C-alpha cells in the first residue's frame, strides 16, 4: 500500500485565518500566457471543505499532480497541502491560443472550523482528487472535577 506523506506539527499555529485570506487575495496567481511566465511559479488549487458532526472533509483538485509530489501537514487547527505539478512538454511548431492550466509549485493552508484529532486522520488520492478525513475533537465533553476541602 502506498502512503501520502502527512506530517504533524505546531508550525501552523502562528498563522491566523485573516492573514491567510489577505495573503492569498494579494498574491493569487491568475492565468497568464506561458510566454510571460517564469520558471518559479506557484498556483493555488481549488478545494472544498465540508463538515459533519463528527468530521471535517477536505477535497482538493490536483489533476496532473503525482502522489509522490504531494505533501500534507496537519495540526489541531490547520492543514497545509503543498507539492508540484510539472509542466507538460510543449508540442513543436505550436502556438498557444489559450493557456489557463497552471503548473509549478503549489501551497494551500486551510484553517479549520474546529479542532481535530491528529491521531484520527485518513487521506486518499485518486483521479486527481485528494480527499482528507479529519475527526473532530468533541467540544461539548464535560469533565467533572472533584473539589476537595482544604
Give φ, ψ of 93 to 5 degrees: 55, 35
Match 505539478 to its residue by C-alpha cell.
85
- By mean pLDDT, which of 22-26, 106-110, 133-137 is the weakest? 22-26
Q: Can you tell me the mean pLDDT for 21-31?
A: 54
Q: pLDDT tier at 34 (50, 70, 90 boundaries)?
A: very low
Give the domain CATH number at 19. 2.60.40.790
The pLDDT of residue 133: 97
**Residue 143 confidence (pLDDT) above 80:** no
The overall average pLDDT reported for the chain is 81
Examine residue 130 and state whether it is found in any structural domain, yes or no. yes
Q: Is residue 79 domain-resident?
A: yes
Instruction: Give the pLDDT of residue 91.
Output: 84
Residue 72 is assigned to a structural domain of this protein: yes
How many independent structural domains does the chain possess? 1
User: CA distances (Å), 150 to each of 57, 63, 143, 146, 147, in order?
Assistant: 48, 64, 22, 13, 9
Average pLDDT over every residue of 107-133:
93
Instruction: Give the pTM.
Output: 0.68
Would 144 be classed as within a structural domain? no
Give the three-state DSSP class for 24. Answer: helix
- Contact between 55 and 117 (Cβ < 8 Å): no
- Between 23 and 58, whose confidence is greater? 58
Give residue-wise pLDDT tens across range 72-115: 999 989 999 999 999 888 888 888 888 888 999 999 999 999 99
65: domain range? 5-30+41-85+101-136
Inter-CA distances, 16 with 13, 46, 58, 78, 112, Å: 8, 20, 19, 10, 11
B/e letters for 20-39, b = 16+ CB within 10 Å, e = fewer, are beeeeeeeeeeeeeeeeeee
Amino acid at each position: 500500500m502506498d502512503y501520502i506523506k502527512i506530517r504533524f506539527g505546531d508550525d501552523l499555529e502562528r498563522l491566523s485565518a485573516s492573514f491567510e485570506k489577505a495573503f492569498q487575495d494579494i498574491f493569487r496567481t491568475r492565468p497568464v500566457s506561458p510566454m510571460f511566465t517564469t520558471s518559479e511559479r506557484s498556483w493555488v488549487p481549488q478545494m472544498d471543505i465540508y463538515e459533519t458532526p463528527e468530521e471535517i472533509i477536505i477535497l482538493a483538485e490536483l489533476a496532473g499532480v503525482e502522489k509522490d509530489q504531494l505533501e500534507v501537514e496537519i495540526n489541531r487547527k490547520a492543514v497545509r497541502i503543498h507539492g508540484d505539478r510539472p509542466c507538460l512538454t510543449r508540442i513543436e511548431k505550436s502556438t498557444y491560443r489559450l493557456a489557463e492550466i497552471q503548473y509549478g509549485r503549489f501551497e494551500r493552508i486551510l484553517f479549520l472550523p474546529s479542532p481535530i484529532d491528529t491521531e484520527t486522520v485518513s487521506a486518499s488520492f485518486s483521479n486527481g482528487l485528494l480527499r482528507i478525513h479529519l475527526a473532530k475533537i468533541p467540544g461539548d465533553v464535560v469533565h467533572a472535577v472533584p473539589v476537595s476541602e482544604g
